[in-house]
Amino acid sequence: MVYDKVIEGLTVRLRSIQEADAEVTYRMRTDPEKTKYLHRSSGTVEEQRNYIKRQMKLEGDYLFIVEDLKRNSIGMKGVYNYNPVAKTVETGRFLSYGSQVQNIEALKLSFDFAFDVLGVEKIVMGALENNAVMLGIQKRFGAEIIYRETLEGIEYDNICSVLIKDIYVNSKVKVEGLIKRFADRV
């Protein structure tokens, strides 16, 4: 789906993916260093463009481009499987060339979108067990591990966690303080 507003932060902004992003996102999705925690694309730029076209129409599934404040594309972040009845959503598909502060803020903005715009009460997310940085960031936000799963074709187990809105409200204040403290260094 397309969210028609830009989500602004102190170091990054999120906007819905567009067909024009096919080439830059293809490069991101084929970078072996950046895709070591994701499914790597083996297709073409045109296949990426077709994926984006489908993505833009997929009900309950949002894919954002992460931009720095100069509007350079530095990553992408997914918010998907939105269930308005259960008031849940999943987040993932995070790939970034940003600094640690930009990465934390991109996650925060996606959580704000889920809780404030979509109105969910719970965000489910995962990270591979060898992705210590992402697991640490999730923990900083207050996420609790709920289970571990083995995914076909992936070397490491996926650690699934949940972030509850009431817990996020408290952790968000600390994370915002961290972002403000380092925003001028980006």
Q: Which amino acid is at 39?
A: H
Tell me how long the chain is. Answer: 186
Contacts of residue 13, defined as CB under 8 A and 6 or more positions apart, other chains included, come to 6, 7, 66, 67, 69, 71, 109
Give the whole-angstrom CA distance, residue 129 versus residue 110.
22
Would you tell me how many other CB atoms lie within 10 Å of the CB of residue 15?
A: 19
- In which element (H, E) is residue 70 found? none
Of 111, 80, 112, 102, the residue nearest 93 (C-alpha): 80
At 153, is the secondary structure helix, strand, or coil? coil
What is the DSSP pairing of strand 158-164 with strand 144-149?
antiparallel
Nearest to 69, CA basis, from 182, 174, 179, 183: 183
Q: Which residues of the chain have a pLDDT value below 50? A: none
Residue 166's contacts (CB-CB under 8 Å, 6 or more residues apart) are: none
Quote the pLDDT of residue 186.
61
pTM of this structure: 0.91
Strands 122-128 and 88-96: parallel
Residue with tokens 């602004």: 8
pLDDT at 37: 61
Predicted confidence at residue 70, as pLDDT, reads 96
Coil, strand or helix: which one is 29?
helix
pLDDT score for 46: 93
pLDDT at 154: 79
